[in-house]
Amino acid sequence: MRPSTLAIALTALGCVGCMDHQRHVESVPRAGFVQVGPPLRSTLRAYVMLWPTPDGLLAEARVQSNCPSRQLTLFQDVDVIEITAAKTRWVPAAGWALLGGTLLAVGDDTSGFAAASFGASALVVALPMLGERTKREHLGFRERAVPGPSVICDDRPLPEVTLTLRAGLTTVEAPTDLSGRARFAGVAWEQVRVAYVDDTAVPVFRAPALPPPP
């Protein structure tokens, strides 16, 4: 085997070691959803809804509560190995190029080996770039939870409670039925300023249209 051919072959073989391996784990989000917990008793809030009727108004006592929530995200972990051409390959490449330049300067019968040296230098630089690739291996799934805001999760009528309305200088009261409703004849809804549920003052909300039947 000619020396020049042997030099190129050895250089090509040595290029196998001119690769960098960088390894890391990527977490790829795959799905997300909100999980709502049970109602918090400390957030119970009663209120009254009012609707006008031909002979007065219809009132409905209701109670509302909040629930804690959290954002759940499902991640897929991927083991990533990036194989790239090593920057250190420029050191032997520079050595082969320097050797080729020296041989050309010397002259005589070294021109063939000089050309082989330049070829080896080019191989050291280019050949590892052909082997660049990325390997991925799926490791599995994991879940990450982030606390979220409390959300309204329960809103229901208050049956069989005493509902009291203060309309101007008049105070009227009535028990609610199983649907949490009570009717007040002769009371205009514009006059209602304060409402009580079992002697506890609660907010009052007014609606322009009658609600559906319970």
Torsion of CA 31, 37, 42, 48, to 10 degrees: 80
Within-domain flag for 53 = yes
Residue 214 lies inside a defined structural domain of this protein: no
Residue 24 lies in a domain: yes
Whether 130 is covered by a domain: the verdict is yes
Taking only the tens place, the pLDDT of each residue in 22-62 is 888 888 888 888 888 887 777 788 999 998 888 888 999 99
Number of domains into which the chain is organized: 1
pTM above 0.75, yes or no: no
In a domain, 94, yes or no: yes
Tell me the angle at which helices 90-106 and 3-14 cross, rounded to the nearest 10 degrees: 170
Domain assignment present for residue 156? The answer is yes
pLDDT, position 17: 57
Most confident of 13-22, 77-86, 107-116, 149-158: 149-158
In a domain, 181, yes or no: yes
Three-class DSSP labels, 178-212: CCCEEEEECCCHHHEEEEEECCEEECEEECCCCCC
Q: How many helices (H) and strands (E) does the chain have?
A: 3, 10
Which residues are within 8 A (CB) of 39 and not within 5 positions of it... i.e. 6 or more apart?
65, 66, 67, 153, 154
Q: Kindly report the number of other CB atoms within 10 A of residue 7's CB atom.
A: 18
Q: Return the top range by mean pLDDT from 92-96, 97-101, 117-121, 200-204.
A: 200-204
Question: How many CB atoms are closer than 10 A to CB 114?
Answer: 19
> Which position has the token pair 């514009």?
190
Q: pLDDT per residue over 109-134, tens digit each?
A: 555 666 666 666 666 666 666 666 78
Which residue range is the domain that position 156 belongs to? Answer: 3-206
**DSSP bridge pairs for 62:** 47, 157
Asked if residue 212 belongs to a domain, the reply is: no
Answer whether residue 1 shows pLDDT above 50. no
